[in-house]
Amino acid sequence: MVTVPSSVIAPALRLMRANRVFATADGARRRVRELELRPTPYGPPSRMRRDVRIDVSNRGWPVYTITPFGSTPTGSVVYVHGGGWLNQIAGQHWHLAAQIAAEADTVVTVPIYPLVPFGTAAVVAAGIVDLVLDNLQWYGATCIAGDSAGGQIALSTALALRDEHGITLPQTVLVSPALDLSWSNPRIPAVQPSDPWLATPGGEVLARLWKGDRDILDPVVSPLMGDLAGLGPLTLFSGSRDVLNPDAHLLVGKAAAAGVDLDFHEAVGQLHVYPLLPTTIGGDARATIVHALRRGVTTPLSVGETPPAPR
């Protein structure tokens, strides 16, 4: 991956009008319609690192499995990609998932979940829960990770696994997660002028579509509203020039109050999903992600966390 200076990212995003989906409600609706008619491809890039193997299966959705060559991998990670609940998985997600598989020596499962207007929060969370349960059976210790919209799904899934199955994940990694889909944090307007990527008007449109028949503050939609007590360790990344950053701070406070171990990596001056960007600080963050997940998949299952029987 070619590394570029962090200072060029924001001007490039503004030049590309990267926020056009989020800047206005009409822009969001227009993009939903475009992708409804002409979905984008989701397969992995033709050029991937050579020390992993990629397979695909159909579990109602396409589900890819990335396995490192030349070793006996330990445990697994379910990686949930971001994209505002409407954009398909991108090359940066694939490369990070492959890096996790190879460098954490683990199996990485990548679900191609349904997007708006076809997918909704509750349906997708239930599907990701099933994937984690399957991975627990077949691979042992299983972690979950996700970025942006995928971070919302990841944390909502961790809450559902605790509540519905009594399972505490050994590690959940959240990269610039969407945490409160009401977009009501009073600090968002102060951050908005510095964010070249996300904005409230389009975000509210996508949130209404994604919530389906659930209340916007239901934890399956807005995991910040859930009770965090009893969750396993969280690792959280957020850039200060991200309108989702104020909610990241609320998550830090809630985790501390609930006695949940949370490792917060806040990068001052960095943007949304900065760990996925081709910068030096992004590369350092990816190394931290790999380390956290390697530690998670080598954590022995606790009493009461016996993998479920095959379904």
**Mean pLDDT of successive 10-residue stretches along the chain, which has 311 residues:** 84 88 96 95 94 96 96 96 97 98 98 97 98 97 98 98 97 98 98 97 98 98 98 98 98 98 98 97 98 93 48 45
Report which of 95, 100, 59, 54 is spatially closest to residue 78, judged by C-alpha positions.
100
- Provide the pairing of β-strand 107-111 with 62-68: antiparallel
Contact 92, 52 (CB under 8 A): no
pTM tops 0.75, yes or no: yes
Q: What is the pLDDT of residue 18?
A: 85
pLDDT for position 310: 42
Neighbours of 80 (CB within 10 A): 28
By the 8 A CB rule, do 229 and 168 touch? no
Residue carrying the six token digits 């490192």? 68
Q: Is the peptide bond before 117 cis (omega within 30 degrees of 0)?
A: yes
Q: Which H/E stretch holds residue 91?
A: helix 91-103
| Residue 301: predicted pLDDT | 58
274 CB-near residues (< 8 Å, 6+ apart): 6, 176, 237, 239, 267, 281, 282, 285
